[in-house]
Amino acid sequence: MADLEVYKNLSPEKVERCMSVMQSGTQMIKLKRGTKGLVRLFYLDEHRTRLRWRPSRKSEKAKILIDSIYKVTEGRQSEIFHRQAEGNFDPSCCFTIYHGNHMESLDLITSNPEEARTWITGLKYLMAGISDEDSLAKRQRTHDQWVKQTFEEADKNGDGLLNIEEIHQLMHKLNVNLPRRKVRQMFQEADTDENQGTLTFEEFCVFYKMMSLRRDLYLLLLSYSDKKDHLTVEELAQFLKVEQKMSNVTLDYCLDVIKKFEVSEENKVKNVLGIEGFTNFMRSPACDVFNPLHHEVYQDMDQPLCNYYIASSHNTYLTGDQLLSQSKVDMYARVLQEGCRCVEVDCWDGPDGEPVVHHGYTLTSKILFKDVVETINKHAFVKNEFPVILSIENHCSIQQQRKIAQYLKGIFQDKLDLSSVDTGECRQLPSPQSLKGKILVKGKKLPYHLGDDAEEGEVSDEDSADEIEDECKFKLHYSNGTTEHQVESFIRKKLDSLLKESQIRDKEDPDSFTVRALLKATHEGLNAHLKQNLDVKESGKKSHGRSLMANFGKHKQKTPKSRSKSYSTDDEEDTLQNPGKEGGQLYRLGRRRRTMKLCRELSDLVVYTNSVAAQDIVDDGTTGNVLSFSETRAHQVVQQKSEQFMIYNQKQLTRIYPSAYRIDSSNFNPLPYWNAGCQLVALNYQSEGRMMQINRAKFKANGNCGYILKPQQMCKGTFNPLSGDPLPANPKKQLILKVISGQQLPKPPDSMFGDRGEIIDPFVEVEIIGLPVDCCKDQTRVVDDNGFNPVWEETLTFTVHMPEIALVRFLVWDHDPIGRDFVGQRTVTFSSLVPGYRHVYLEGLTEASIFVHITINEIFGKWSPLILNPSYTILHFLGATKNRQLQGLKGLFNKNPRHGSSENNSHYVRKRSIGDRILRRTASAPAKGRKKSKVGFQEMVEIKDSVCEATRDQDGVLRRTTRSLQLRPVSMPVDKNLLGALSLPISEAAKNTDGKENYLVQI
């Protein structure tokens, strides 16, 4: 951050003075909402990685990671400070620490201004150092901190020494299941000082290295070093070229690797890489599964905006749910710096003529529109200069609309000036490159027929805020002495019970589909609405359901909702617009429209992002229309007219936003809409979970700039994304993924017994996410009682029809008798995978990783479906028709079946019984402790001719259940030795049974 630059150059004396004060601790008052201030001792831990305080009832949670601090502000700037009386505290003694994904604030008051200044300076210095780190330095720092913290937590009596019993307890916590005799032997070898029977921190580091010796990496090193315990420069170069598929490998590069990663000074002098250095190199970002080149912008940025997926946020200002959570301007700063390029601003009339931002008809807090614009202006282009789209939801009166326009022009200034933007060919949107440093206002625009002299006019009022159902609104009527606080307290309790009842949490379990599980209070209203729709359909009224734009325009008749708007309704006749062959047929629906008044000043700020309703689209040659859909309406369009939808998205932009029933701010599955070419798929960035992980992974490529180029097939021409073979003329990609081992896999985060629980039994699941035909899962066997260094050595094979939009999701699970517990995940775009031996670090976990080997081949020509994707073609063997396949694949989309299907209630929830879960566990989980056996040629023929069983998850993803045994190509001695001959000496293990050396064979 720009404001941290000055802190990088503090004098060493000043830095040490700040650190000394902070580590000694300072008594401060901690302000909390609704309570008096609490006096606590705040201190920086000895590693300078955590801010802690005491006393605290939750001692383990009483900490803030320096890495998680977003910013530190001086004075009384936070909302909690603003609630305090003006003269209560000296502003020079006050400061606020904002941290975490939800911008939580820690509001502190010191006894004098000097202490406050010391803490602010020290914290900003630490934040500046972290922001300046490269990935290698951060990896090393987090590893060192993890080892030190592990030692301290194991040191129960705090004497700085670990005895053998504490080591045994630590081994259990680390999920290591070694014989006590082996542990004692390593303990004695590491215990070299005079104080026998205990390990100092330095001795513990030796013990930990012995315990962590990677046999898989050691065997890999041996296979390239002619069975020596080190690699020469030439041997390292050969390994990088052959296995890691690196081009332009020079001797200087190899010497630099040795200099950076080798720990032995003797080896450095000899220019060789030993096992410790090789391990450090293989665990470094240089051998991460994600292509390091994709950390920078590498795609063509000169194509029209409609050719890109654009990272988009919904309800950007909210920190939590849509009913009661806080609105904060800092959420805009956070999402913009995360790479989001389209933010939402809900504008409403505020007091004193000042427009405010909040979620209408709810108890979410309000923030000033002016503050939002200033925050966006400050942070929009800190991380990258590609354009930001401001999605304005306008609910204001004409007077406050003019104030909005005034703030936008006054604060953004030339960032709004698009007069010099090059649009390239006629009737084409400008490119991200040509719009660098610009802010686009997405909103309503006055119709052309009004003329330029009209001060105001009427426009259709179709936006996401109007999707709020009446049942979800708060209409507060105080009576009998009821106060606003009592009403809020009642609503908060009601919301908490609803959240618990419906279990609305975005986890890996596909049953947690919140649109269907949410709000029992609105259930009757929903059923009445569904019944009304069915009655209308059965009454024989004219339906345009088979046309694309008819689906676009299915709107419910609504009543006026705000006195600050002027509405009118017009009767429209059914008129058919034919914009040409490419656009498909656009129908105008016969219905009563609702309108609102819009001022000229605000309308003129909208240039390339004009919000339009489906029935207003005409082929008048203009560009820059943005069509908005809720997820439920968009789902209908994708299911019924996906190809026409894709053609529309080749010329204009489409924004998809979450259903209003997601009051918990959960997220829908963005995949179906990306598959149809929709650019602005808006998610709740404040809600962590599977969907945000997928979104984050998609946009991490291309320098995390918020723009990802769509595949060429989506930009020109068309195809059916729901087809069984959508691109028959294109080559497919075959992913051969060997899952070798795991490292330091922790117990599941919600483990019932925490560290005292059983050692985990891990297995790895790999999921392909993309077009429906590509979506598939496969998994390894279960390894018993080992989370520290489990070995699977299994090969999973997938075929991908459209790799440009596919993602590969690695998940680690802990097997248990009635199901599985989620341990961790990492999702990577298929195009960012790097071939060779790679570590997949699990997101959010310091040391946990899985070690894999990746090979990607191209498959040309017309291939048998069995060869392409065995799990997909099971349906052919079972006699399933194409229609039945596609019906099953519908589960990939928001599970809202069309009316008339067997599940015509879109809020239907299937609950699994315990017996059902056990059956599913035995059907889909790999056999615990399953042994691999060698298969002869004749057996392989028989297995290939047999048909394995396949099941579908409840989200429609094909899951391979009983995978046939297969011969795996030998890529290194690990294949044979790690599973079958771990007890053999290295010299024996490196040879075949006939005595010949087993050299590495490239997959």
Question: Taking the CA of residue 430 as centre, how many other CA atoms within 13 Å lie in the half-sphere pointing to its CB?
Answer: 19
Query: Residue 433: left (phi > 0), alpha (psi -120 to 50), or beta?
Result: alpha
Active site residue 815: no
Q: For residues 317 and 102, what is the distance between their CA atoms, to the nearest angstrom?
A: 10
Name residue, tokens 């392989």.
940
Pairing of strands 592-599, 569-571: antiparallel
List of E strands, 469-591: 569-571, 575-577, 586-588
The answer to whether 660 touches 630, Cβ cutoff 8 Å, is: yes
Q: From start to end of 224-349, where are the E strands?
A: 230-231, 273-274, 308-310, 312-313, 342-348
Burial letters 149-187, b for 16+ CB under 10 A, else e: ebbeebbeeeeebbbbebbbebbebbbbebeeeebeebb
The amino acid at 516: R
d(CA 57, CA 55): 7
List the strands of the sheet with 592-599, edge to edge.
456-460, 592-599, 569-571
Q: Is 580 left (phi over 0), alpha (psi -120 to 50) or beta?
A: left
- Residue 387 half-sphere exposure toward CB, CA atoms < 13 A: 30
As given in the structure block, the two tokens for residue 649 are 């998205």
Q: How many CA atoms lie within 13 A of 993 on its CB side?
A: 3
Q: CA-to-CA distance for 433 and 435, rounded, in angstroms?
A: 5
**Other Cβ atoms within 10 Å of 654 Cβ, number:** 23
Contacts of 525 (CB under 8 A, 6+ apart): 469, 470, 471
314 is catalytic: yes
Which contacts qualify for 451-454: CB closer than 8 Å, 24 or more apart?
Answer: 454/600
What does residue 937 show for φ and ψ, rounded to 5 degrees?
A: -60, -45
User: How many CB atoms are closer than 10 A to CB 320?
Assistant: 16
130 is written with which tokens? 């972290």
d(CA 693, CA 844): 11
Which member of 102, 230, 314, 359 is catalytic?
314
d(CA 91, CA 436): 39
Contact (Cβ atoms closer than 8 angstroms) between residue 982 and residue 790: no
Which among 99, 102, 294, 358 is annotated as catalytic?
Answer: 358
Longest Cα–Cα distance in the chain: 96
H/E stretch holding 737 reads: strand 732-743
**Residues found in the chain:** 1003
What span, in angstroms and rounded, lies between the C-alpha atoms of 299 and 703? 9
């990896």: which residue's tokens? 139
The residues annotated as belonging to the active site are 314, 358
